[in-house]
Amino acid sequence: MRHVVHSTLLGLLLVGCTNDPIYLPSPQGIEAGGRDAMDELVEGRASIQIPVNTETMKDAVDRMRRQALIDPATVIPYVAVDDLEVSVEWTIKNNDPMMPGNARIQLNGANQFFEYDPALVVLSADDEAPPSPGLQGDIPLDIPAGGTLSGVFREDELREASIDLDMITRGLVNPFRATLVVDKNRTEFEEQTALTYDMDGEPLPQMGTGVIFPRETFAQMLRIDLVFKPDRPMVLEYTVRVRDVRGEIVHDLAMAAFTDPVGMGELEPFMPAPFEVAPPAPMPPAN
């Protein structure tokens, strides 16, 4: 039995159609844009995990039944893409009253299997090679002096990010390939061979393994990670907006479930593994 919300106000906010949006505000703004001891700009990072109910026996049995009909190598997740629709609303405040500035917001995250941080995915031994891409964002934004700028990562962009995350991690698809192609309407993807490298530490072309992931196996992103990169002191505030399309996935208490004694016991354990890639060191030149 699900936890009962006794607060009248909270009940008014949360009761309704399961497709009504649930808002998960950031606990505090992300402050960034200062300088460290080496005079390097300081980035800001923050995460919000979607509070997901423990899987019911009925859902588990149904998932196992569907799993038996496909390749056992392609596990159906508890929360799949299309079970939730997620967006992120954000506002940047430029704290400099005299000078306009520039900022970027990079969006990454985690599903129930893996978490993706581009800093842990090094695809080339060349120090001058471009860094691995984030899943969304990283676009220059102009912020007026002392002003604000608001925007949103849309539901279709978060759906794209969820699919790319699964393709990169479980499917071993090169992150550049995954993020440069529009995948939000994809019905399947093929697992790739593990990355191999030439003598200079550069990635070689991959091949398909024949293992196919149909759309019902695509894992939904359940944790949103934001990297805030302004060129002067600024603050980023954000709210994650979730529509529970399947119903009964998101806990009734929303973010309060993480601190409520009963609510904590009703949350699905969430322990994604870090996804890491590192090429071998390049071979020294022959004498």
Tell me, what's the pLDDT at 102?
A: 97
In the predicted model, what is the mean pLDDT of residues 54-81? 93
pTM score, whole prediction: 0.89
Distance CA 259, CA 254 (A): 10
- Domain positions in the chain: 19-274
pLDDT of residue 176 exceeding 60, the answer is yes
Tell me the per-residue pLDDT of 260-283, one tens digit each, with 9 for 90 and over: 999 999 999 999 999 999 877 666
List the structure tokens of 113: 């299997």
Tell me, what's the pLDDT at 198?
A: 86
Cα distances (angstroms) measured from residue 185 to each of 130, 160, 215, 220: 28, 8, 9, 14
Tell me the per-residue pLDDT of 103-122, one tens digit each, with 9 for 90 and over: 999 999 999 999 999 999 99
What stretches of the chain show up as alpha helix (H) in DSSP?
8-14, 57-67, 155-169, 175-180, 261-265
Q: How far is CA 136 from the centre of its chain?
A: 9
Tell me, what's the pLDDT at 283?
A: 60
Distance CA 278, CA 164 (A): 19
DSSP β-ladder status, 101-110 and 44-49: unpaired
Distance CA 79, CA 222 (A): 8
Q: pLDDT band for 35, please (50, 70, 90 cuts).
A: confident
Tell me, what's the pLDDT at 17?
A: 54
Place of tokens 């980035």: 43
Q: Apex CA 143: angle with CA 139 and CA 148, to 5°?
A: 115
DSSP β-ladder status, 188-192 and 208-214: antiparallel
pLDDT of residue 6 exceeding 50, the answer is no
In the predicted model, what is the mean pLDDT of residues 86-94? 97
Which residue spans within 61-147 are E strands per DSSP?
Answer: 84-94, 101-110, 114-116, 136-137, 141-143
Distance CA 173, CA 57 (A): 33
Tell me, what's the pLDDT at 3?
A: 41
pLDDT of residue 195 exceeding 70, the answer is yes
Tell me, what's the pLDDT at 256?
A: 94
Asked if 153 and 224 touch (Cβ cutoff 8 Å), the reply is: no
Tell me, what's the pLDDT at 37?
A: 82
Closest listed residue to residue 229, CA positions, set 125, 131, 111, 121: 131
